[in-house]
Structure 1
Amino acid sequence: MQTRDARQRGDVRQVGLAKAERVAFALERDIRNGRAPHGAALASETELTRRFSVSRNTVRRGLKLLAEQGLITTRTGIGSFVTYNGSAMDAAQGWSLALAREGDAVETQVLDIRRGPCGRADRFLDRAAGEAGDYLCVDRLRFCRSEGRGISLERSRLPWRAGFDRLLRDGLVEGSISATLAAFGLVPASGCEAAGVLPALGPEEAAMMGRQPGTPMLRLERVVRDGQGQCLEYVESLLDPVRFGLRMEF
């Protein structure tokens, strides 16, 4: 299994990841850590093939993965440029695009991480995973320090796997669901996401987010699967509609 030191130094030889995904994983770290800031041009395809010792087609597939996450945009004949400005929640949010206000400090608080049933998300996970059972349950709140209230409440449910026990003790790898999946050699290959509106926050969610009961929220549900179609994660997110939206390319 890949060591934490290897992840921190950007080593792309991560166990369980295909070559293109390794390229994307390493470049994503550069972007999220600020080494490749918003608006910066990435190295050319030729330079990236040398850096990662892969083919040009592999580099292009890796860049496509980053583009699908909204982290870069590629202009034919010009190059690839970073479009991430620090507002996206993390790669695990799938096709959601965070529209956090620039200059606001957004922090993440893990409210709960436990092993147990999947609760009210059961009907989605049973259908997606094909069976009922144990899950790693992670509840996280993202909040804006300047406002003193939550901007998103996420409930992630991952079918339980060998080795997850240590997460109950040590927490998520790098504080991220996506980094945790990668550390276990679990590679998202497909998924679906549905967006709707929660007309009114209930008392429990309102208290967690520091908002008034009855506040409307954007509600997203997402299922992420591996290459064999098995469920890797189900997540329900309640998002401040002023700060979050959806992006589609057509």
Structure 2
Amino acid sequence: MVEHESPDQPRRGALKRQEIAGELRSQILAGTYGNGALLPGENELAQRFGVSRGTIRRALGSLAEEDLIDTQTGVGSFVTFDGQPLGAESSWGHAFAVIGAAVQAEIVRAQLVVDPELAASVSSAGMEFLALDRVRRLADGTAVSLERSRVPAVGRIADVPVEGLVGDSLTATMAEAGLTPARGEQWIAVAPLEPADAELLGRRPDEAFLHAVRISLDAEGRFAEKVTSWLDPKRFRLHTAFGGAR
């Protein structure tokens, strides 16, 4: 049986598109998305509003016509673990939980440090940082990553060496201190493990690992976190997608 489109369907679609564009417009003008910030992806917006990606695309197109946003063919990259995307999560602990990976984090260092070089490189207002180093292990004890986080020692973050993390989560601790990553950049290369890092990971020195450096900023563009990671290339991969609207 052939189904014919109701005459009201195009009108309802247009109204929905206008509703979505109106809500996003209000958020942009209110500063929820600052200049240069990325809007959520099409899939996320489609799920949020319960519509198709085509409707989202048309809503974004109307905002672009108003010069409120720039739409462009973009390139997105993210890390996968055993083929499952870890995405752009600010917390890999949360990302691992989302994909159901049995990976536990072991804190090997939690210390306040003064680092003028880091402060200058990221334009940080202060020179004191929390140095939090963690090894992530599988259930059998095999280490799959080493992550060295450096976070401004403000508010609750400065208490971590004595009080520990809020809910065993650096992300939650940063949020309590009013420090929430909103955007950033990441660089990934292949490099040999340095002796000290190889010892922590239980690997041989000079073994090739993925070496990642990620710098996150908050919504106002202030430095939030630098993470230097060593990732087992047998478990982690870099996935790149291109050609979609951003």
Q: What TM-score, normalized by structure 1, do the two folds share?
A: 0.58
More strand as a share of residues: 2
The 1-side partners of 2:221 and 2:100 are apart by: 40
- The answer to whether the 8 A contact 2:156-2:176 is kept is no
Describe how 1:189-208 pairs up with structure 2 within 5 A: 189-198=182-191, 200-208=192-200
- The answer to whether the 8 A contact 1:92-1:177 is kept is no
Show the counterpart of 2:128: 134
3-state SS of paired residue (1:180): helix
Q: Figure out how many residues of one structure are paired with residues of the other and give that number.
A: 183
- The answer to whether the 8 A contact 1:149-1:211 is kept is no
How many Å apart are 1:197 and its aligned residue? 1.4
Show the counterpart of 1:117: 114
Show the counterpart of 1:169: 162
Unmatched 5+ residue regions in structure 2? 1-15, 17-21, 56-80
The 2-side partners of 1:239 and 1:163 are apart by: 29
Describe how 1:27-66 pairs up with structure 2 within 5 A: 57=24
Unmatched 5+ residue regions in structure 1? 1-45, 47-54, 79-83
Q: Which has the larger radius of gyration?
A: 2
The 2-side partners of 1:89 and 1:108 are apart by: 19
The 1-side partners of 2:158 and 2:193 are apart by: 32
The 2-side partners of 1:71 and 1:123 are apart by: 38
Show the counterpart of 2:89: 91
3-state SS of paired residue (1:212): coil
How many Å apart are 1:248 and its aligned residue? 3.4
Report whether the alignment pairs 1:237 with 2:229.
yes
3-state SS of paired residue (2:173): helix
Show the counterpart of 1:7: none
The 2-side partners of 1:140 and 1:76 are apart by: 39
Change (3 A) 1:186 1:131: closer
The 1-side partners of 2:152 and 2:87 are apart by: 22
Change (3 A) 1:228 1:87: closer
- The answer to whether the 8 A contact 1:206-1:212 is kept is yes
2:137 maps to which of 138, 143, 147:
143
Change (3 A) 1:179 1:73: farther
Letter of the aligned partner of 2:159 in structure 1? R
- The answer to whether the 8 A contact 1:99-1:244 is kept is no
Two-structure CA RMSD over aligned residues (Å): 4.1
Change (3 A) 1:247 1:182: farther
Query: CA deviation digits over 1:128-156, x for unaligned, max 9?
Result: 1346611111000001123x321010000
Higher RCO, Cα 8 Å, sep 6+ = 2
Query: CA deviation digits over 1:147-172, x for unaligned, max 9?
Result: x3210100000122133333222212
Letter of the aligned partner of 2:240 in structure 1? M
The 2-side partners of 1:163 and 1:71 are apart by: 31
The 1-side partners of 2:84 and 2:160 are apart by: 26
Query: CA deviation digits over 1:59-111, x for unaligned, max 9?
Result: 9x99x97769x999855389xxxxx99874993258xxx899x8863111011
The 1-side partners of 2:87 and 2:167 are apart by: 14
The 4+ residue runs of structure 1 with deviation greater than 4 A are 55-59, 64-68, 70-75, 84-87, 122-125
- The answer to whether the 8 A contact 1:91-1:178 is kept is no
The 2-side partners of 1:175 and 1:65 are apart by: 29
- The answer to whether the 8 A contact 1:190-1:224 is kept is yes
How many Å apart are 1:125 and its aligned residue? 4.2
Letter of the aligned partner of 1:155 in structure 2? R
- The answer to whether the 8 A contact 2:157-2:174 is kept is no
Show the counterpart of 2:61: none
Change (3 A) 1:194 1:128: same
